[in-house]
């Protein structure tokens, strides 16, 4: 995964503007798009908002889920691609 400057992850600014409910309903007030995520998606999104680097994000998720680094990285990249599609980042 790349770092913030050439990241495949949504920008920090885009992530912080999202309204996120505890039930997983996500609303982007800038684009008007909304969608829902499951509990795992909600965890990834919250970590995306607070992690300082992609490596830190993977490490955080590895502590919570019993999956390999490669599996977590793949899932995060897929989730990030979906996010970028919906929030227009």
Tens-digit pLDDT string for the chain (89 aa): 544 445 678 888 888 899 999 999 999 998 888 999 999 899 889 888 887 677 888 888 999 998 999 999 999 888 888 888 888 76
> What pLDDT does residue 89 have?
64
Which residues make beta-bridge pairs with 20? 26
> What pLDDT does residue 52 have?
66
Nearest to 24 by CA among 14, 13, 12, 39: 39
Q: What is the pTM (predicted TM-score) of this model?
A: 0.78
Question: What sign does the CA torsion over 68, 70, 73, 74 have?
Answer: negative
DSSP annotation of 53 reads S
Q: Are 3 and 54 in contact (CB under 8 A)?
A: yes
Structure tokens at 49: 């908002």
Distance of CA 34 to the CA centre of its chain: 15
Domain boundaries, the chain: 4-87
């Amino acid at each position: 995964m790349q770092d913030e400057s050439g990241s495949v992850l949504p920008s920090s600014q885009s992530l912080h503007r999202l309204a996120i409910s505890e039930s997983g309903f996500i609303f982007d007030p800038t684009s008007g798009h909304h969608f829902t995520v499951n509990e795992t998606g909600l965890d990834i999104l919250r970590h995306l908002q607070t992690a300082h680097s992609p490596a830190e994000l993977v490490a955080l998720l590895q502590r919570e889920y019993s999956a390999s680094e490669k599996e977590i990285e793949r899932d995060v990249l897929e989730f990030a691609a979906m996010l970028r599609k919906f929030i227009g980042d």
